[in-house]
Amino acid sequence: MARAGASTVAIVGAGAVGATLAYALLMQGAARRVVLHDVNRAKVEAEALDLAHGIQFMPHAQIIGSDDVEACRDADVVVITAGAKQRPGQTRLDLAASTVGLMRTLVPRLTAVAPDAIFLMVTNPVDIVTQAALAISGLPREQLFGSGTVLDTSRLRYRIAQETGIAASNVHAYVVGEHGDSELVLWSSAMIGAVPLLDWSSTHAPLLDEPSRTAIAEEVVTAAYRIIEGKGATNYAVALAAVGIIQAVLRAENRVLPVSTLLTDYVGISDVCLSVPTVVGGDGAQERLLPPMTPSEQAGLRASAEHIRAVGRELGF
């Protein structure tokens, strides 16, 4: 387990997400050494140089850009953002086949140079990519996992905060399941401060009534499509979400985050990567927590699992 002050984070993919993640890590002082790796040598070297020119305005760190995988050697955390770009109107699952093909080449090269690293998959469709990377690498599920619905959960808390006027940091609610169209909100266990959200709603009607909750959940599911239609990609919030996960690992924070891991007998779900509240710390993705769920929420999570499993079968794992 590395200390944050002496750590190396390798980011694979110098596109919008990878470059923004490098910037966010440097600005927050989350790692002493940040490696940006991409097959496009001119692009990755230019991104690293642009960042390096601002080093005096950041916490002390080193930024390296390289097309050589050796630059990732002995990294403490490896973050994979490389993959096919999501186009307007295209679902995350439509990306699966080409991106998994890329992982078959990329993952063995990375595990060869950083066998002890914690691997964080960010590339979409993240649940499928995570499951493929686990099968390809043979790494344990604690060591390799996906960013999952950490971003979706942040979007949810932001919208609830908007509706209620309560600080987002005092909203405790989770999006679980697929990072995509079949994800769902666990309304029954959501809290505002120490008050169950459903109780809060009943005393502040019509705020967060059932129609409002349905609309918010739909906004969370479709948020990425709206952003991609307007600017071509999502990059800022997902980078910040990844920084939160990385810091939980490097600082051994044992934070509860809805990352995507391979589940085993979780409300009857096994052998599929999905997001559920998980303790994330120095050893990676640790205990999976089981919040209270209604029968309909459990059914929704199982349906999301089957949705992912069906795609996995088509791709041969």
Residue positions annotated with a catalytic role: 179
d(CA 152, CA 144): 20
Torsion of CA 94, 100, 106, 111, to 10 degrees: 130
Position 316 scores a pLDDT of 78
In the structure, what pLDDT confidence band is assigned to residue 86 with cuts at 50, 70 and 90? Answer: low
Q: What mean pLDDT is predicted for residues 39-61?
A: 96
Q: Is 238 annotated as a binding residue?
A: no
Backbone angles phi, psi at 137, to 5 degrees: -85, -30
Instruction: Of 52-56, 57-61, 91-95, 142-146, give the lowest mean pLDDT range.
Output: 91-95
Position 2 scores a pLDDT of 47
d(CA 280, CA 255): 5
Report all structural domains of the chain as residue ranges with CATH numbers, in order of start.
8-146 (3.40.50.720), 150-314 (3.90.110.10)
CB-based contact 1:29 (threshold 8 Å) = no
d(CA 274, CA 178): 6
Position 17 scores a pLDDT of 96
Percent of the chain with pLDDT over 70: 96
In the structure, what pLDDT confidence band is assigned to residue 8 with cuts at 50, 70 and 90? Answer: very high
Q: Is 313 annotated as a binding residue?
A: no
Q: Is 20 annotated as a binding residue?
A: no
Q: Is 213 annotated as a binding residue?
A: no
3-state secondary structure of 281: strand
Position 96 scores a pLDDT of 80
Position 87 scores a pLDDT of 66
Convert the pLDDT of each residue in 109-154 to its tens digit.
999 999 999 999 999 889 999 999 999 999 999 999 999 999 999 9
Position 91 scores a pLDDT of 64
Q: What mean pLDDT is predicted for residues 274-279?
A: 98
Q: Is 17 annotated as a binding residue?
A: yes
Q: What mean pLDDT is predicted for residues 220-249?
A: 95
Predicted structure pTM score: 0.95
Q: Which residue(s) pair with 78 in the sheet?
A: 10, 119
Q: Which residue(s) pair with 262 in the sheet?
A: 273
